[in-house]
Amino acid sequence: MTDSPFAVSEIVASRRPHRKDAARNYDALITAAREAFAERGADVSLEDVARRAGVGIGTLYRNFPTRRELFESVYADEVNALCQAAVELSERLEPWEALAAWLNRFVGYAATKRAVREALDGESEIFQTCRESMFAAGGPLLERAQKAGAARTDMEIGDLLRLVSGVTATAFEDDAQRDRVLGIALDGVRAGR
């Protein structure tokens, strides 16, 4: 068990090996899989993931006996990082800046989520735990911005995440266009706009 308030952190901790060399390989596989899924979607070959991570296919299967376990682990790792970022941003930034910075991180996560969601059943236990953890992480950021008068008070975290998910569901010409469109959406969230 971890000291994080998010259930997804327990999933991540329970799957990550304790031996340093095994943990290093595990982390390399998670990173390689995340990048491969974001670039090419859910159909990327596991051999390609192992090659990107600099390990053999046997090491991949030792850590992730099934393709589904790799998808679940990448997804849980992404959500866990997003949840931890919410806590860190809340401690360092003013309410609106913390919320906007977290939503920008959410946009980065969304690319991996699309690929992983193709492979995972939306009703899976991991998916539900990750969703609950994400709401638990983002909710306080939104509430803090609302209390500070920086964000609209007629919305909930579910509304906000659907808005940003909708913005990121389409293909963009480049990162600048994506950032511009996200900025437009966030202007609609900001109080007094």
**SS percent in the chain: helix, strand, coil, step 5:** 75, 0, 25
- The answer to whether 180 and 140 are in contact (CB under 8 A) is no
Side chain identity at residue 96, one-letter code: W
Mean pLDDT of 50-72: 92
Backbone phi and psi for residue 173, each to the nearest 5 degrees, phi listed first: -60, -40
The 10s digit of each residue's pLDDT in 167-185 is 877 778 888 888 898 899 9
Residue 1 pLDDT class (50, 70, 90 cuts): very low
Give CA–CA dist 167/155, Å, rounded. 17
Q: What is the pLDDT of residue 2?
A: 45
Q: What is the pLDDT of residue 154?
A: 95
In 3D, which of 148, 51, 133 has the Cα closest to residue 95?
A: 148
SS3 at position 151? strand
Give CA–CA dist 193/180, Å, rounded. 16
In the predicted model, is pLDDT for residue 144 greater than 70? yes
In 3D, which of 44, 22, 20 has the Cα closest to residue 32?
A: 44
Which of residues 5 and 165 earns the better pLDDT score?
A: 165
Whether the pTM exceeds 0.85: the reply is: no
Percent of the chain scored above 90 by pLDDT?
A: 47
Give CA–CA dist 63/20, Å, rounded. 14
158's CB contacts (< 8 A; 6+ apart) are: 135
Min mean pLDDT across 49-58, 95-104, 124-133 is at: 124-133
Q: Which domains does the chain possess?
A: 7-189 (1.10.357.10)
